[in-house]
């Protein structure tokens, strides 16, 4: 089921929540001035924040992807870097259609993380389609993966059965079994909650 601002369906009972990529979050949500030339999606921000609150209240599995990972963090009081290339060295990534398809960078996965249990490796090549990244962590989150330059690539709330955000786009890498394992784990968590 797809949730939209025009059809938020807050009364529906769902088993898990995926928040995908898209437009940048409205910076005042994390106490930064907005770009006056950017077209923010306030309705989507409000919809997804409300659903994240419901997910917490009902212990629903949550997977945040790119913007979704950032929103997970911000909803818990964390902040973002609005331009990763201005904060970290070696963080100017190609940003054209071919780069979105082919460019890869390495991430280091924390050995005691849920992400490590899913991927069964501590180093992995992922895609890069973002210019923002997590700065200060939101309440209850731990970093589960970073790039060599320090850019946060994944966060997780280890107190919940499944609550994770990844900065990369595993749905664009679904042809590899290692990334399908992430979605499989999410689906299994949703099934267990339903029982």
39 has a pLDDT exceeding 90: yes
Is 171 labeled as catalytic in the residue annotation?
yes
Domain assignment present for residue 158? The answer is: yes
Instruction: Tell the residue number behind the tokens 């629903």, with chain if given.
Output: 60
Token reading at 127: 């895609």
CATH number, domain with residue 177: 3.40.50.880
| pLDDT score of 195 | 59
176 has a pLDDT exceeding 70: yes
Token reading at 138: 């939101």
Q: What is the pLDDT of the chain when averaged over all its residues?
A: 94
DSSP symbols for the chain = ---BTTB--TT---S-EEE---SPP-GGGGT-PPPTTS---HHHHHHHHHHHHHHHHTT--EEEETHHHHHHHHHTT--EES-GGGTSTT-----SHHHHHH--EEEEE-TTSHHHHHH--SEEEE----S-EE-SPPTT-EEEEEETT--EEEEE-TTSSSEEEESS-GGGGTTSHHHHHHHHHHHHHHHHHH-
Is 185 labeled as catalytic in the residue annotation?
no
- What percent of the chain clears pLDDT 90, i.e. is strictly above it? 83
Domain assignment present for residue 114? The answer is: yes
Count structural domains, the chain. Answer: 1
Domain assignment present for residue 116? The answer is: yes
Q: Print the domain residue range for 123.
A: 64-194
d(CA 40, CA 11): 26
Domain assignment present for residue 190? The answer is: yes
Of the pLDDT bands very low, low, confident and very high (cuts 50, 70, 90), residue 8 is confident
Of the pLDDT bands very low, low, confident and very high (cuts 50, 70, 90), residue 12 is confident
Tens-digit pLDDT profile for residues 55-99? 999 999 999 999 999 999 999 999 999 999 999 998 888 878 888
37 has a pLDDT exceeding 70: yes
| pLDDT score of 90 | 87
Domain assignment present for residue 179? The answer is: yes
**pTM reported for the whole predicted model:** 0.95
Domain assignment present for residue 39? The answer is: no
Contact present, 33 and 27 (Cβ < 8 Å): yes
Token reading at 99: 């780069």
- What percent of the chain clears pLDDT 70, i.e. is strictly above it? 99
The catalytically annotated residue of 66, 130, 163, 185 is 66
What mean pLDDT do residues 170-183 have? 97
Tens-digit pLDDT profile for residues 91-132? 888 878 888 889 999 999 999 999 999 999 999 999 999 889
d(CA 143, CA 111): 11
Domain assignment present for residue 178? The answer is: yes
Token reading at 91: 């963080």
The catalytically annotated residue of 147, 156, 163, 169 is 169
Is 169 labeled as catalytic in the residue annotation?
yes
Domain assignment present for residue 138? The answer is: yes
């Amino acid at each position: 089921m797809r949730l939209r601002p025009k059809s938020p369906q807050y009364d529906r009972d769902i088993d898990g929540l995926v928040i995908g990529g898209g437009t940048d979050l409205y910076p005042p949500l994390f106490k930064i001035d907005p770009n006056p030339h950017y077209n923010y999606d306030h309705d989507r921000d409000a919809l997804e924040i409300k659903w994240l609150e419901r997910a917490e209240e009902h212990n629903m599995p949550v997977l945040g992807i790119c913007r979704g990972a950032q929103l997970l963090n911000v909803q818990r009081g964390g902040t973002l870097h609005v331009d990763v290339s201005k904060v970290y060295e070696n963080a100017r990534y190609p940003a054209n259609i071919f780069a979105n398809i082919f460019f890869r960078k390495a991430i280091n996965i924390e050995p005691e993380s849920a992400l490590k249990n899913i991927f069964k490796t501590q180093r992995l090549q992922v895609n890069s389609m973002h210019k923002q990244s997590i700065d200060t962590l939101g309440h209850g989150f731990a970093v589960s993966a970073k790039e060599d330059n320090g850019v946060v690539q994944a966060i997780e709330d280890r107190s919940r059965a499944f609550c994770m955000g990844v900065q990369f786009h595993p749905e664009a890498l679904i042809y590899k079994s290692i990334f399908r394992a992430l979605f499989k784990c999410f689906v299994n968590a949703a099934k267990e909650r339903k029982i």
